Amino acid sequence: MKILRNYIILFFLGLGIQQAYSQSYRFKTSGFSILEKTDKGKWGEWSKLDLVNLSVVLDTEKHRIVVYSQEIQLFNIIEYIEREENDTDIVYSFVCKDNSGIDCKISIITRKKQDYRKQLYINYDKHIILYNIFNV
């Protein structure tokens, strides 16, 4: 029983130490789509999903997300939003500013009921950019 208690203490100490270090998460994209608001302020239809192979890096040490598209998309993380989870999704969200200083919210969503497929949403006031992503 004493050994089990020591393992539990070591486990939680290890978790605390691990969280103290920043990490970098790397993804690749497989698809890309855009959703825009109409002139009447309502959301239109998603564009056709285009196949695209880009690198995406979430760097918690530098507090940024970078999408390595033809024009590099750099998002400085202003706020880390608490992880959300429900029956269908696991969501990590970030309040960001893009290269131009425009506010946006970025979410990495894992779809539990879709074989744990991951998607990256870049949400602006008038449009949303979607990338299907996977870990590398």
Average pLDDT over every residue of 16-33: 78
Beta bridge partners of 31: 51, 132
CA dihedral 106, 76, 73, 22 (to 10 degrees): -80
| Predicted confidence band of residue 9 (pLDDT cuts 50, 70, 90) | very low
Average pLDDT over every residue of 33-53: 96
Judged against a pLDDT cut of 90, whether residue 4 lies above it is answered with no
Parallel, antiparallel or unpaired: strands 89-97 and 117-123: unpaired
So what's the pLDDT on residue 124? 98
pLDDT in tens, 58-90: 999 999 999 999 999 999 999 999 999 999 999
So what's the pLDDT on residue 15? 42
| Predicted confidence band of residue 8 (pLDDT cuts 50, 70, 90) | very low
Q: What whole-number distance in Å separates Cα of residue 47 and Cα of residue 74? A: 23
Tokens 């208690």 belong to residue: 5
Q: What whole-number distance in Å separates Cα of residue 24 and Cα of residue 123? A: 22
- Percent of the chain whose predicted confidence (pLDDT) is above 90: 83
